[in-house]
């Protein structure tokens, strides 16, 4: 679970960094702001599930409950991985366009 949390943080940081660097939006102060802005500009789809990811991340920080951990793991495997892959593809495409 620790590995998954680190990967989640890395992706959220990428969203935040993208917006700071390319959108010049100083109002982005955290993962929720970055997620809302990413949806607004078309970098991500399904903003509700991305917000669920943030909630899941926050839950994993303070949970030692096996049931909650299993639920979050299921969400990661069934929903989050696909959205991360879509986001990675979008970012790769943007990088190629800017080369």
All structural domains of the chain, each given as residue ranges with its CATH number in brackets, are: 2-97 (1.20.120)
Cα(55)–Cα(76) distance, rounded to whole angstroms? 12
Please check the confidence at residue 15 and state whether its pLDDT lies above 80: no
Structure tokens at 51: 């917000």
> What is the predicted pLDDT for the residue at 38?
86
72 neighbors 60 (Cβ within 8 angstroms): yes
Contacts 24+ apart (CB under 8 A), 11-14: 11/84, 11/87, 12/54, 12/57, 14/91
What are the backbone dihedrals phi and psi of residue 65, each rounded to the nearest 5 degrees, phi first? -85, 120
Mean pLDDT of 20-47: 80
| pLDDT beyond 60 at 4 | no
Tell me the whole-structure pTM to 2 decimals.
Answer: 0.70
């Amino acid at each position: 679970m620790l590995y998954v949390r680190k990967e989640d943080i890395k992706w959220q940081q990428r969203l935040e960094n993208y917006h700071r660097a390319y959108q010049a939006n100083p109002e982005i102060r955290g993962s929720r702001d970055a997620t809302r802005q990413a949806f607004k500009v078309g970098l991500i789809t399904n903003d509700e599930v991305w917000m669920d990811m943030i909630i899941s991340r926050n839950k994993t920080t303070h949970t030692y409950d096996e049931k909650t951990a299993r639920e979050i793991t299921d969400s990661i495997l069934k929903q989050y991985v696909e959205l991360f892959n879509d986001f990675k593809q979008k970012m790769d495409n943007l990088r190629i366009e800017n080369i």
